[in-house]
Structure 1
Amino acid sequence: MGSSYIWVFLLLQCKFIFLVSAILDPVDFLALQSIRKSLDDMPGSNFLTSWDFTSDPCNFAGVYCDGNKVIALNLGDPRAGAPGLSGRLDPAIGKLSALAELSVVPGRIMGRLPGTLSNLKNLRFLAISRNFISGDIPASLGDLRNLKTLDLSYNQLTGSIPNSVGSLPALTIFILCHNKLSGSVPNFSSRSLTRLDLKHNDLSGSISPVSLPPSIQYLSLSWNRLTGPVDRLLIRLNQLNYLDLSLNQFNGYIPPRLFTFPISNLQLQRNQFCGPVQLVNQVTIPTVDLSYNRLWGQVSPLFSTVQNLYLNNNRFSGRVPASLVDRLLGGNIQILYLQHNYLTGIEINPTAEIPLRSSLCLQYNCMVPPVETPCPLKAGTQKTRPATQCNEYRG
């Protein structure tokens, strides 16, 4: 019997040790309580129903622990289309000292980003997108030296992008699109940055040729007020596979080398790029949009391998290369927009049948379009540019 008592004693002792080791750190426990009080489920969401503090918080939805510390906090049901949360982000988040990951699903989280986020020295992933976060981006986020992903897109952030945030050494993904940010694009010091998305803001000024690291693969700066030449910048970014600089005020010439990059979608439309487009090799980029610029010279036959080519609303002149016409009639070019230029001719039979999946627009050039083709509404109704404009351009 004595040995039985010893085994029972040892078993109870092991259970006691297990329970002690499973108890969450008191600081983290109180922090989670404060976070819960500042949030509510939106209609249709039951994410927070599991947050019953009479049970182990490490079993709460979106809470992940390592030992007695919270290491990840994913607030809201991650399933696509699920209702999010409402409320505010409590500053107590900054007390979760071991936190490495913080995310908030789309919802109605309002207010400012807590300045206490800078206390999370282990934070590697911060994603709070598609909510209603407002105010400035705290410059103290630059203290998060281990941060790799920062996504604050689709919010209402104002002010400038702090230089300290651009200086984060470990950044790989930086997404601030669809906010109300102003000021200039900071210099980025991370040599591992691969994705930079700042589109749909109010950023202005020029971009230094050395402000972005050559590691960038995805770059979107569209829908801002950025200015100046970018040729010296672009030729350094030879790992790009996506580039969108559209709807800015960039100027200068487009470097020929850019067309040799492994880009799937090149969008430079609605800027002030000027000069001839000089190509040295066949362009293998599926979609090239250079429309609404100040480009001039002849259309290069090396564009004939592009599937969707937008050269409209520029100052191109001369004849359309026969290779483009052949590829269009063969169904290899799906979109060929050449309207609103100063083109003088195209070798195409008036009875030629353009494939149904392909689109050609030639109107408002210095020629009468030899074929009737549907054009975008923005092209207007005038088929030919006035002769006086054509004469002045040639002169």
Structure 2
Amino acid sequence: MGGSFPAKELSAFENLENLDLSWNNFDGPLTIQVGLSNSRISPYIGALSSLKAISLAYNSLNGTLPKDLCSLKKLLELDLHDNLFEGILPTCLNNLTSLRFLDISRNRFVGNISSYLIASLTSLEYIDLSYNQFEGLFQFNIFAYHSKLKAILLASENNKLEIETEISAGWDFSFQLMILVLSNCNLKLTGNIPKLLLDQRELEIIDLSHNNLNGSFPIWLFENKTRLRELNLQNNSFMGKFHLPPNQCKSIMYMDVSDNHLGGQLQENIGKITPNLKYLNLSRNHFEGYPPSSIVDKSHLLQHLDLSFNDFSGKVPTKLIASRTNLFSLKLCNNQFTGFDLPAAPSKEFGWSELRLLDISNNKLSGMIPRWIGNMTSLQSLVVSNNSFEGQIPCGLPNSLQLVDLSHNSLSGSLPSCLNLQNIEHLYLQGNKLTGPIPKSIFNSSSLLTLDLRDNNFFGSIPYQISAPPNLRILLLGGNNFSGIIPNQLCWLKKIGIMDLSKNSLSGTIPHCFHNMSFGKLYVNDFLYGSYSHDLNSLSLQVGSTFQTLFGWNSGKDYENIVYGQQVAVEFVTKYRSDSYHGDILNYMSGLDLSCNKLTGRIPQELGELSSIHTLNLSHNQLTGSISQTFSNLAELESLDLSHNNLSGEIPPALIALNFLEVFNVSYNNLSGKVPDMKAQFGTFEKSCYEGNPFLCGEPLDNNCTREDESHPSPTKSSNASEGQWYEVDPQVFFASFIGSYIIFFLGVACLLYIHPYWQQRCVNLIEDLKYRCYYPVFDTLKRLSNCLES
């Protein structure tokens, strides 16, 4: 449902106790203005005096909170998270003394969190103020009398919130928390971990991520916490070894200590110490050595393991990738692995596993791509880029694959036609030694979104079957040996946003139909990129149910549908640099690169209709004609390179309207006239952008556009003569020279025929042939005309 919030209609339900309008599309404020005065606000929400619970989460509601919310004295739950509310919280909310559940997270509230506001809400069990624009100091001592409190969530978004967790001497907290989230909060501590955690024995979830905490790994967090299920210490400064205490980690199911300075070898019995662990992230540390085999076992529940960006070395343990375990996601990228710990005689079941994501990129792996990968029938993402794999790509890759990244290896040979990629969405083969034409089978996947074949040795023409994938968004064929014309079938790819055909041997003209492609102009159903993800039967990110406090507290997460995945990334050259674009930004990034080919003809003026394109590179070709005036319509253009062509005429002055243009290059053409005025973005372009065009003039060039004959007029010329044009000539001289040239030409031909009998005979034959060719058509025409007249 959409539209404005139906406050007036709801006010008729006087006895309404529970109101749930979450996960809709309501927008606008909660209030309704009466008349023209902003001071008159209808108290429709306040009329629902029986309300005990209200949930408006996951809408697009905005504006400030109305004060008539404060009149709902029976309210037990107020859930407004994931909206666009803003402004300062009304101080009258302290009247809601019965409130047990308060969630205003993921909005735009500002100011300091009023201590007197929260201090009076002593019935609170759950409070979530996360991801707003709060700032200033927040002191935990305001919770001193909140004996029922079970969950505190105060994750900051703007890094301007400071939290002091210590309490005055002689005081103590009267609550036992189950959930404590203090992420990115600039914690003010006397030690390296909040002391309040010492006495919280019922904690199930602890999140202290992004706080720059230091010291050794706090193993004492596990002491006397038999219910602890989730621990998040990501992005801090803990150092030293990572050793978990035995017999105290059996309940832990989720642990993230990534982005710290932990090092050394992992303890050999880590898998036995954490038998219920489902998610373990140790990435971006300094771990080394060989990962212990106990970390994954058939009897263990581990589903997601991330050891990336460390210094692990040796061979990849077979148990991690080629056995029947519960592991769904495995990231080993950016380490020092050199091979696979394979058994001497692999069984038929070797390689059968439930893995859906395998990332072993940026290591020192070599040899052939293992054929046992074909046995991983559930595998959806395979990333082996930036290694030294060689040989041909095997045919037996799993049919379930949706993302394949084999880029930057030493793979050779042609792409096998037996390669089954019917479900593929993203295929990266850049930077190998692959050759041959592109097989037609590669376009069999109707789901194909990204195709990257750059920097190989592919040759032949671009096949017309390339238009088959209807959702193809990114096409990168640069740096190969493709030849022939650019097929018009490319224009059928309506959703293309980034296309690179540079550094080939393509010839012919630029298709006029390129304006039919989107190049950044998207609609609601065209947003195809994000984090490429899968669902696991593991941890959820939503805490509890909104209405559970009405029927008894249920603390934690449901352990379902954690999102894991491989973020889609693409490198593209724009503004003379190669940038990597990730995830959602790929929906907006757009560019066309046809540089370094053999293209001829004029630049189609229809390219000026690509109003959403960000970069356009047509340099190093043989293009002729002028720069189209329609280019001034490219309102989003940031980079335009037309250099090293044969373009002529003037540079359209209307290009000054391109307010986002950062790179402009028309050097080494045959352009003439005055360059655009040094206004707006054109005031930033140096003369190197125009060099190689000797007939261009004006700033910033050294050539002055004022004519020499105008600046220094000759005194001998009359005013009438000065108004004449430079190409005027004497008519008598012109006709005399023309007649003389005609006579000389006629005499020359006559002498040639007289002297050379062969050409004389050829001339006679030509005249006779022309005579007969003309005679018979004329004779037939006259005869028919005579017959018509007689009849």
Q: How high is the TM-score relative to the length of structure 1?
A: 0.72
1:383 partnered with 2:669: yes
Structure 2 partner of 1:246: 454
Question: Aligned residue for 1:344?
Answer: 624
Paired position in structure 2 for 1:34: none
Matched, 1:364 2:644: yes
Counterpart for residue 336 of structure 2 = 133
2: CA distance, partners of 1:351 / 1:244: 28
- Partner SS state of residue 404, structure 2: strand
Match of 1:224 in 2: 432
Q: Deviations over 1:240-284 (max 9, x none)?
A: 011111111112222234245312221111111222122244542
- Name the structure 2 match of 1:55: 248
8 Å contact kept, 1:241–1:263: yes
Cα deviation for residue 62 of structure 1 reads 3.9
- Structure 1 residue 317 and structure 2 residue 600: aligned? yes
In 2: Cα distance, 1:119 partner to 1:352 partner: 57
1:89 to 288, 291, 295: 291
Q: Does the Cα contact within 8 Å between 1:97 and 1:119 map onto a contact in 2? A: no
2:396 is matched with: 188
Q: Does 1:276 align with 2:478?
A: no
Aligned 1:174-213 pairs, distance under 5 A? 174-213=382-421
1:114 corresponds to which of 309, 317, 321: 317
Going from structure 1 to structure 2, the CA distance change for 1:43 and 1:158 (only over 3 Å counts) comes to: farther
Counterpart residue identity of residue 290, structure 2: R
Give the superposition deviation at 1:51: 0.9
Residue 217 of structure 1 and its aligned partner are, at CA, apart by 0.5
Kept after mapping to 2: 8 A contact 1:89/1:111:
no
Q: Given that residues 430 and 456 in structure 2 are in contact (C-alpha distance below 8 angstroms), is that contact kept between their aligned partners in structure 1? A: yes
Matched residues in 2 for 1:351 and 1:288: separation?
19
2:554: which partner in 1? Answer: none
Q: Give aligned pairs, total.
A: 337
Equivalent residue number for residue 510 of structure 2: 299
Check the 8 A contact 2:296/2:325 in 1, yes or no: no
Q: Residue type of the partner of 1:337?
A: N
Confirm whether residue 157 of structure 1 aligns to residue 365 of structure 2.
yes
Partner Cα separation in structure 2 for residue 131 and residue 334 of structure 1: 32
Pick which of 220-229 and 150-159 moved more: 150-159
Matched, 1:104 2:318: no
Q: Residue 361 and residue 375 in structure 1: after superposition, are their counterparts in 2 closer, same or farther (change >3 A)?
A: farther
Is the 1:195–1:216 contact (alpha carbons within 8 Å) kept by the matching residues of 2?
Answer: yes
Shift of the 147–318 alpha-carbon distance from structure 1 to 2, 3 Å rule, reads same
Distance 1:375 1:342 in 2: 24
8 A Cα contact 1:322 1:346, kept in partner? no
Deviation of residue 342 (structure 1)?
Answer: 2.0
* 1:44 aligns to 2:255 (yes or no): no
Of 432, 439, 445, the residue aligned with 1:237 is 445
Residues in 2 aligned to 1:173 and 1:47: alpha-carbon distance in whole angstroms:
33
8 Å CA contact retained: 2:308, 2:335:
no
**In 2, distance between residues paired with 1:355 and 1:255?**
33
User: CA-to-partner distance for each residue in 1:6-44, whole Å, 9 max, x for gaps?
Assistant: xxxxxxxxxxxxxxxxxxxxxxxxxxxxxxxxxxxx993
1:195 deviation in Å? Answer: 0.7
Q: CA deviation at 1:184?
A: 2.0
Q: Which amino acid aligns with 1:130?
A: C
Task: Tell me if structure 2 keeps the 8 A contact 1:181–1:203.
Answer: yes
Per the alignment, residue 286 of structure 1 pairs with 497
Q: Structure 1 residue 46: deviation in Å?
A: 5.9
SS at match of 2:388: coil
Shift of 1:337: 1.5
Deviation of 1:71 (Å): 6.5
Instruction: State yes or no: 1:264 paired with 2:470.
Output: no
Per the alignment, residue 26 of structure 1 pairs with none
Distance in structure 1 (CA, Å) of the matches to 2:255 and 2:476: 39
Which residue identity is paired with 2:323? L
Which string of whole-angstrom CA distances, capped at 9 and with x for unpartnered residues, describes residues 156-210 of structure 1? Answer: 2222211222343222111112223222222234222111011222222211122
Q: 2:609 corresponds to which residue?
A: 327
What are the ranges of 5 or more consecutive residues in structure 2 without an aligned counterpart? 1-234, 257-269, 520-590, 656-660, 672-691, 693-791
CA distance in structure 1 between the partners assigned to 2:662 and 2:370 by the alignment:
45
AA partner of residue 327 (structure 1): E
Cα deviation 1:289-331 (Å, max 9, x = unaligned): 111111112111111244321111111112222211x325xx4
In structure 2, what residue type is equivalent to 1:266?
Answer: L
CA RMSD between the two structures: 3.8
Match of 1:146 among 343, 354, 361: 354
Q: 86-95 vs 348-357, which deviates more?
A: 348-357
Q: Which has the higher contact order (CA 8 A, sep 6+)?
A: 1
Deviation readout 1:112-163 (Å, 9 max, x if unpaired): 2123446631244242333323222455695234332211122222222112
Pair member with larger Rg? 2
Does the CA-based 8 Å contact 1:65-1:72 persist in structure 2?
Answer: no
The AA in structure 2 aligned to 1:53 is: P
Unaligned runs of 5+ in 1: 1-41, 387-395
- Which consecutive segments of 4 or more residues in structure 1 shift more than 6 A? 63-66, 350-354, 372-377
Mapped pair 1:74 → 2:280: yes
CA separation in 2, counterparts of 1:201 and 1:183? 10
| Contact 2:612–2:636 (8 Å) recurs in 1 | no
Counterparts of 2:515 and 2:468 in 1: how far apart (Å)? 14
